[in-house]
């Protein structure tokens, strides 16, 4: 018999965004608490270790535009949903841990 267990997290369980650089031989990590004012307090445009582009969208001439406000919109949306007066509790389904698959 095969059974499957679904896992959910509550929005209050979401504490931070974590960036991990995927450039070979870097792997730097940066964790930003959800309360952060991302575009002002933390630049995640580039990897702080190796300089690889993260949220910066390069325009090809050495400049570009940051997408840090995307993080602020996600954080603000979570906050609004948590404060929403509707009678529901919202959870997010997450992928099962491969270790749990038997
Ligand atoms: Zn890096």
Q: What's residue 49's pLDDT?
A: 95
The more confidently predicted of residues 21 and 101 is: 21
How far CA 44 is from CA of 11, 27, 72, 87, 94, in Å, comes to 23, 14, 12, 36, 25
**Taking the model in full, what pTM does it have?**
0.72
Contact 40, 50 (CB under 8 A): no
pLDDT band per the 50, 70, 90 thresholds, residue 62: low
Residue 80 CA, ligand 1 centroid: distance in Å: 33
Residue 26 CA, ligand 1 centroid: distance in Å: 5
Residue 59 CA, ligand 1 centroid: distance in Å: 20
Residue 56 CA, ligand 1 centroid: distance in Å: 13
Residue 63 CA, ligand 1 centroid: distance in Å: 19
Contact 57, 65 (CB under 8 A): yes
Give the tens place of pLDDT for each residue, 7-53: 999 999 999 999 999 999 999 999 988 876 766 777 788 899 999 98
Backbone angles phi, psi at 56, to 5 degrees: -75, 130
Domains in the chain: boundaries: 7-95
Give the tens place of pLDDT for each residue, 65-75: 777 778 888 88
Provide, rounded to the nearest whole percent, the portion of the chain with pLDDT above 70.
Answer: 87
């Amino acid at each position: 018999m095969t059974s499957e267990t679904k896992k959910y997290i509550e929005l209050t369980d979401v504490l931070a965004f974590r960036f991990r650089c995927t450039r070979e031989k870097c792997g730097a990590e940066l964790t930003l608490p959800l309360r952060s004012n991302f575009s002002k307090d933390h630049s995640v445009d580039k990897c702080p270790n190796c300089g690889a582009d993260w949220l910066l969208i390069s325009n090809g001439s050495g400049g570009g535009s940051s997408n840090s406000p995307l993080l602020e919109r996600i954080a603000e949306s979570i906050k609004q949903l948590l404060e929403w007066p509707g009678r529901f509790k919202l959870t997010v389904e997450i992928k099962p841990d491969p270790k749990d698959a038997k």
